[in-house]
């Protein structure tokens, strides 16, 4: 989660704010019968991967990138840190996460410590439009469901280019504007249009290529998103709301957000893209 602009920070942060998040999550994990002193990545998967497809989507995308141990990775819009901890445990990457929400960063660091990963992942509050890192710092930039809240895409991608090493890659899994009409709100990233800034797949590609990025892979994942939401909806109908899930982050609006998200996907109001691009050497 990141900001659309300096002036928009408050609105975006307010959307994701959850008072007492750490206490609420630990309580939910304990009620689910989990030992808080012996937590695993699998235990956290239902709550710490705040994007369509969850942990499975992270693993499938990461496996396409041929990652190697020791890569310096920046997770932009890292949320509770599920994806970055996955990259560290499954692929041996060294990951820094950045997120606009200081609360999310605190919880992400707490969870990393509980999993014994605090030497391999770390999280800090910051704005993606002004990344607090030196030029040419990272081998890989990773971002999932982040740019939807950012209006100034040109500045966002320019910052990504700046901190990425020549020859480094940018991996994007994001929600984009579809051809089926305006988005139905509320949705997980916005309760109204004021902090939602979607562009089309063609616009995204043009902006990346304009900066000089080379397209390595480009995959429309919209249908996979539809299938995932259908399965989640079926589970909720059969078993009611699970004890662990991203509804813990979104509160009472979650059911309506989920219903709208299904319609937005089914009616082509939004699209999903997984892309890997490279900054040339």
State how many domains the chain has. 1
Average pLDDT over residues 106-120: 96
pTM above 0.75, yes or no: yes
- Rg from Cα positions in the chain: 18
What is the predicted pLDDT for the residue at 2? 54
Q: What percentage of the chain carries pLDDT values higher than 90?
A: 78
Q: Label residue 211 left, alpha or beta by phi (over 0 means left) and psi (-120 to 50 means alpha).
A: alpha
Q: Is the pLDDT of residue 251 over 50?
A: yes
**Within a domain: 1:** no
38-47, 126-135, 138-147: lowest mean pLDDT where?
A: 38-47
What is the predicted pLDDT for the residue at 229? 83
Q: What is the CATH number of the domain that holds 180?
A: 3.40.50.150
**Within a domain: 2:** no
What's the CA gap between 20 and 242, in Å, rounded? 20
**Within a domain: 4:** no
Which range has highest mean pLDDT (1-5, 42-46, 101-105)? 101-105
Which domain does 85 fall in, by range? Answer: 9-278
Q: Higher-confidence residue: 229 or 198?
A: 198
Q: Is the pLDDT of residue 16 over 50?
A: yes
**Within a domain: 271:** yes
What's the CA gap between 147 and 132, in Å, rounded? 18
Residues 129 and 76: beta-carbon distance below 8 Å: no
| 214: number of Cβ within 10 Å | 12
What is the predicted pLDDT for the residue at 255? 84
What are the C-alpha distances in Å from 249 to residues 13, 34, 95, 217? 13, 19, 23, 32
Q: What percentage of the chain carries pLDDT values higher than 70?
A: 94
Q: Is the pLDDT of residue 171 over 50?
A: yes
What's the CA gap between 15 and 94, in Å, rounded? 29
What is the predicted pLDDT for the residue at 258? 86
List 273's β-bridge partners, or say none: 174, 220
What is the predicted pLDDT for the residue at 32? 93
**Within a domain: 3:** no
């Amino acid at each position: 989660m990141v900001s659309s602009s300096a002036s928009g920070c408050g609105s975006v942060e307010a959307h994701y704010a959850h008072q007492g998040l750490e206490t609420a999550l630990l309580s939910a994990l304990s009620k689910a019968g989990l030992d808080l002193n012996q937590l695993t990545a699998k235990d956290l998967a239902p709550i710490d991967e705040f994007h369509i497809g969850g942990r499975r989507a992270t693993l499938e995308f990461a496996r396409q990138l041929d990652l190697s141990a020791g890569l310096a990775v920046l997770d932009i819009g890292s949320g509770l840190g599920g994806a970055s901890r996955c990259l560290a445990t499954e692929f041996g990457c060294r990951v820094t996460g950045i997120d606009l929400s200081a609360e999310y960063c605190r919880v992400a660091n707490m969870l990393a410590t509980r999993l014994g990963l605090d030497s391999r992942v770390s999280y800090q509050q910051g704005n993606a439009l002004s990344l607090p890192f030196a030029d040419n710092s990272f081998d890989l930039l990773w971002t999932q469901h982040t740019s939807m809240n950012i209006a100034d895409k040109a500045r966002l991608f320019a910052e990504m280019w700046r901190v990425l090493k020549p020859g480094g890659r940018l991996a994007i899994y994001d929600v984009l504007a579809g051809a089926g009409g305006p988005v139905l709100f509320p949705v997980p990233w916005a309760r109204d249009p004021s902090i939602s800034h979607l562009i089309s797949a063609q616009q995204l590609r043009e902006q990346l290529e304009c900066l000089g990025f080379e397209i390595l892979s480009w995959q429309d994942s919209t249908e996979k998103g539809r299938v995932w939401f259908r399965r989640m909806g079926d589970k909720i109908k059969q078993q009611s709301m699970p004890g662990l899930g991203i509804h813990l982050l979104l509160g009472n609006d979650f059911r309506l957000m989920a219903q709208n998200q299904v319609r937005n996907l089914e009616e082509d109001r939004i699209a999903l893209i997984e892309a890997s691009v490279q900054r040339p050497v």
